[in-house]
Amino acid sequence: MAGDIRFDGRVAIVTGAGGGLGRRYALDLAARGARVVVNDLGGARDGTGASSAMAEAVVEEIRAAGGEAIAHGTSVTDEAGVADMVARARAEWGGVHILINNAGILRDKTFAKMEIADFRAVLDVHLMGSVICTKAVWDMMREQAYGRILMTTSSTGLYGNFGQANYGAAKLGLVGLMKTLALEGAKFNVRVNTIAPLAATRMTEDLMPPAFLERMGPETVAPAALYLVSEEAPTNMVLNAGGGGFQAAHVTLTKGIHVKPQDMTPETIAARIADIRDRSGEVVPETGAAQAQMALSGG
């Protein structure tokens, strides 16, 4: 058995931590010694409205349990607000070691009925919100040679779900963001991972059957999130968690085929599509450049 995972001396920002998963992450990090910035805009599920009450209530819970926390009510989409949040954490506690990009909204509709404004709003909060928060701590993490950043994707981003085109696009965007940041952060001991949660929260209360939800409280996801921001965290990992299940998701590449110039025709593709799809011997390339190398060399 490995020793206890602790966060003593670490400062963590958890976005969207006024309720649901973020609240659980904040409470658990604080219980294991972290000082936590509890961020939440405090709006409705679709991102309208704002109130600092949710974040403050979680800070009270942490303090009542003997932990240290401060609330910050900025929207993750507000660059100046996020800069202020990071500056406050630094002034209060000297730095930021952990960032959990968790804030999110839903505007579900079939693509046929979806307004572009609903698409933009969802991309803005999930994807640009995570970019803005990550950018605000990035230089500091590089300078202090320590950083643990967690993105939040979804089964919708990884595999698709009806009525969530905007959400899926934003959520898989976060995996792409992680993949490059994991490479760029590596030599500075900045590790970047992604969690794909499944939990009963206000986001899912009417999307999943009650029998499912009972077995899937946020406490079934938090252990994976804490591991992914711990000292011994991996980097570039997508970890699905919820209801007792923990799985790794990968973007794989089949061995495929390699043909001569005269065979580079749509007819060749049609004739050999089964070979191209054949999953025996598939791999997970370390980088996009590695994939390009494999394509050129024929495996």
Q: In the numeric block, which tokens belong to residue 283?
A: 């791999």
Compute the least distance from the CB of residue 67 to ligand NAI, in Å: 19
Q: State the nearest-atom distance from the C-beta of 228 to ligand NAI, in Å.
A: 13
CA dihedral 131, 137, 138, 139 (to 10 degrees): 140
Instruction: Pick between residue 82 and residue 146 the one whose CB is nearest to ligand NAI.
Output: 82
Side chain identity at 296, as an amino acid letter? L
Q: Looking at residue 160, what DSSP letter applies?
A: -
Q: How far is the CB of 94 from ligand NAI (least distance, A)?
A: 24
For ligand NAI, the closer of residues 52 and 268 by Cβ is 52
Known active-site residue 25 = no
The backbone torsions φ and ψ at residue 152, rounded to the nearest 5 degrees and listed phi first, read -120, 110
> Cβ of residue 76: shortest distance to ligand NAI, in angstroms?
4
Residue 19 region by backbone torsions, left for phi larger than 0, else alpha for psi between -120 and 50, else beta:
beta
Which residues, at least 6 apart from 168, have a Cβ–Cβ distance to it below 8 Å? Answer: 154, 156, 157, 160, 161
Torsion of CA 299, 285, 293, 160, to 10 degrees: 90
Which of 25, 146, 167, 227 is catalytic? The answer is: 167
Do residues 190 and 147 touch, judged by C-beta distance below 8 A?
yes
Q: Is the dihedral of CA 165, 170, 173, 174 positive or negative?
A: negative
Which residue lies nearer to ligand NAI by CB, 57 or 283?
57
Structure tokens at 109: 């509709």
Closest to ligand NAI by CB, 161 vs 189, is 161
- Where along the sequence are the contacts to ligand NAI (CB under 6 A)? 15-16, 18-22, 39-43, 45, 47, 54, 75-77, 102-105, 125, 129, 152, 154, 197-199, 201-204
Q: How far is the CB of 153 from ligand NAI (least distance, A)?
A: 7
Residue among 204 and 268 whose Cβ is closer to ligand NAI: 204
Residue nearest to ligand NAI (CB): 20
Catalytic positions, written as ranges = 167
